[in-house]
Amino acid sequence: MKDKGLIIIMLVIAQLYSCKAQVDPPAAFGPTPSMKQLNWHNMEFYAFVHFSLNTFTNKEWGYGDESPELFNPTELDTRQWARVAKEAGMKGIIITAKHHDGFCLWPSKYTERSVKNSPWKDGQGDVVRELAEACKEYDLKLGIYLSPWDRNHPGYGKPEYITYFRNQLKELLTNYGDVFEMWFDGANGGDGYYGGANETRKINTLEYYDWDATYKMIYDISPNTLVWGIGPSEARWIGNERGRAGKTNWCLLRQKDELAGKVHYSEFMNGHEDGEKWVPGEADVSIRPGWFYHEAEDDKVRPLEEMVDIYYESIGRNANLLLNLPVDKRGLVNENDIVRLKELTAVIKADFKEELLAKSKISSDNTRGESEQYAAENLIDSNTETYWATDDSIHTGSVSFEFEKPIYINRVELQEYIRLGQRVKAFNVEAKVDGAWQTIANETTIGYKRILRVDRVKAEALRVNFTDSKSSLVISTIKAYNALTLVTMPKISRDKRGLVTMEADNGNEIYYTIDGTDPTTQSQRYKETIQLPQAVMVKAIAHNAEEKISSKIKVINYGKSKEKWKVLSSSAHDFKSADRTIDGNLSTFWTFGDNSTKSPQNIVIDMGETITINGFSYFPKQLGHDLNLVSQYAFYTSSDNKHWVKQSEGEFSNIKNNPVKQIKTFHSITARYIKFVAKSGIDDKNMFSIAELDILETSEN
Ligand code: FUL
């Protein structure tokens, strides 16, 4: 009895004490994410599937006149897509329900241009429905890409197309369950079929769609759908199609300026520190050079090390990662893509296998109201809902982690408690090595998540110093790991004369073969440039001798060197520097043309001998603001530099956003002279650049 009384008194005291210790949480600072956006941030990684008529026509952008009868996957299995995505740790799939050519993957009642007029399932199929069901089964969220640009619709550019577009939106948002993200692509306007008009139509994207009304309609039907891209969106493009966010990456955007056309897309990589709205970045990239499946890219799946970089430069830089898996003609995610995705998943899993700070002794120089509720211990409790916070007036601060014995560290992960806004502007990380502190990272923003890759250190302690912030500090997580060393493949290049140069990172050794066998550390060691002017397959590895780890094998197939090639003539009067287009160096380029004339420009090359070829490639200039990229081309061959035969003509689709090597194939022919014609360029300029021109030699050669 007596004991019971004592317990009650103690409970009351505890209650009183805790009331006293109750300190209000920090007030939100600046724009904050909505619940919908928070859920979206938590998804981090999801798949894009580009699959449509283009898969069957081998195009990146359809013109709009392709027949729906070409759509005929033989083994379409959306459950396979879902399984692949799920196993990779992805949280959803966004499908190209309608790409720019207007073909619909669902039997829309507003058009005949859909699966219903394809041989697939005798016109009874519905890809969107099958995917929605597979997503449900695998507990994935469904997202939809509906291209605002429609190169098929006769009414595109006129008011009636807006009605059509909205009707389709309604169909997609009503009939397929929850849609977590609606994807509005920015590519819009240009030439197209347009119901047979075959003309160029341009619209003002910001006005034509009356986005305010369109968004309102979307939210009325489906309030939980997050809208991405064009218009007053809730998430933004990251400004490139390489899946890379800026190191500094604010979730904020001056969207009013953007909607007034005052923001250049290159600013999307970083967002705006003073943005008035929470519009976080989503980094989209394809696992291959193109967005749609092309057999010619089966051996061009991005290398593992590039995929790992993409992961760290998107998710590790406060952006979501939208990774495209171009479903192939069978209707399946291709084996080669699955292999790479599995390798990526394995590396990421291994990198984050063991968290190292949870067992450390933690201390901080300030805690909000000295309350346990905001203590630094919250940083390592693996609960993102708790956080360490400083007093309102304290905008800088340090947290230290001491280890019982020194440990190896090469990754540091941080998260802000973004419900209360994104605040940190600068921070650094120090490690105590042999009793002395050394700076191992000097960084800017954090946001939802930031992962730093640092050189491996053997640390007795770690210290994170927040040196600049918009307001008090509100940090939910700090973690550290010791990831495995990933040795990157050597870089290989060959110049015009056939001199091959190889380079490896961090002074790693290089071993190579030219007889087709896989190189090992027993193979020829690369020491200096090698003369290889003949058609040759070079295989090489980089090797970290200290850790005894080798890279993956780099394989390059060279045709005969361009030693005998010469630029013979050009529409440009001055073509002294035109040799740069055939120098084997992808970073040099030649710009030609003339803004005062509208005629096509050309360059004629003598290959020095007759060669059997079945295609050519155009490598676009990569860096700079004025890229002067060719968008419409023609390619001719000749055996005497007099009589020319056109071998290929068409468009380099999507070259502006995704300036990858453009490969065009045709039937095998023999030729000594080639003529590349630049018919038009992006941004309607009559200036063109070429980084490198090449031919595809027929393999029997
Ligand atoms: C681009 C489009 O033009 C491409 O075809 C692709 O869909 C990519 C994701 O967005 O802007």
- Find the 185 Cα to ligand 1 centroid distance in Å: 6
- Find the 72 Cα to ligand 1 centroid distance in Å: 22
Cβ–Cβ < 8 Å for 156, 184: no
Q: What is the pTM of this model?
A: 0.93
Closest ligand 1 atom, CA of 96? Answer: 7
Number of H helices, E strands in the chain: 11, 35
CATH superfamily of 566-697: Galactose-binding domain-like (2.60.120.260)
Higher pLDDT, 574 or 219: 219
What is the per-residue pLDDT across 82-130, written as a single tens digit (0 to 9) for each? 999 999 999 999 999 999 999 999 999 999 999 999 999 999 999 999 9
Give the residue from 240, 270, 239 showing the smallest Cα distance to 253. Answer: 270
The pLDDT mean for the chain works out to 95
Cβ–Cβ < 8 Å for 531, 499: yes
* Intrachain domains 45-351 and 491-558 with the same fold: no
Query: Which has the minimum average pLDDT: 6-20, 150-164, 464-478?
Result: 6-20
Query: Which residue has its alpha carbon closest to ligand 1 atom 10?
Result: 185
Closest ligand 1 atom, CA of 147? Answer: 7
Substitution site in 658, 660, 682 for ligand 1 pocket (most atoms within 8 Å of beta carbon): 658
Which residues, 6+ apart, have CB-to-CB distance to 106 below 8 Å? 97, 114, 115, 126, 127, 128, 129, 171, 172, 175, 176
Q: Ligand 1 site: residues with CB under 6 angstroms?
A: 60-61, 185-187, 284, 291, 654, 657
Domain boundaries, the chain: 45-351, 361-481, 491-558, 566-697
Closest ligand 1 atom, CA of 186? Answer: 11
Task: Please give the average per-residue pLDDT across 215-244, as a whole number.
Answer: 97
Query: Which residue has its alpha carbon closest to ligand 1 atom 6?
Result: 291
- Find the 100 Cα to ligand 1 centroid distance in Å: 9
CATH superfamily of 45-351: Glycosidases (3.20.20.80)
What is the per-residue pLDDT across 339-386, written as a single tens digit (0 to 9) for each? 999 999 999 999 999 999 999 999 999 999 999 999 999 999 999 999
Query: Which residue has its alpha carbon closest to ligand 1 atom 11?
Result: 187
Closest ligand 1 atom, CA of 60? Answer: 5
For residues 149 and 187, give the distance between their C-alpha atoms in angstroms, rounded to a whole number. Answer: 7
- Find the 183 Cα to ligand 1 centroid distance in Å: 10
For residues 23 and 1, give the distance between their C-alpha atoms in angstroms, rounded to a whole number. Answer: 36
Residue with tokens 């800088």: 396
- Find the 498 Cα to ligand 1 centroid distance in Å: 36
What is the per-residue pLDDT across 51-80, written as a single tens digit (0 to 9) for each? 999 999 999 999 999 999 999 999 999 999
CATH classification code of 491-558: 2.60.40
Higher pLDDT, 522 or 597: 522
What is the per-residue pLDDT across 294-305, written as a single tens digit (0 to 9) for each? 998 999 999 999
Query: Which residue has its alpha carbon closest to ligand 1 atom 4?
Result: 654
1 pLDDT more than 50: no
- Find the 103 Cα to ligand 1 centroid distance in Å: 15
- Find the 264 Cα to ligand 1 centroid distance in Å: 18
CATH fold of 361-481: Jelly Rolls (2.60.120)
Substitution site in 46, 51, 291, 294 for ligand 1 pocket (most atoms within 8 Å of beta carbon): 291
- Find the 187 Cα to ligand 1 centroid distance in Å: 7
CB neighbourhood size of 58 (10 A):
14
Cβ–Cβ < 8 Å for 636, 567: no
- Find the 292 Cα to ligand 1 centroid distance in Å: 9
- Find the 394 Cα to ligand 1 centroid distance in Å: 45
CB neighbourhood size of 237 (10 A):
23
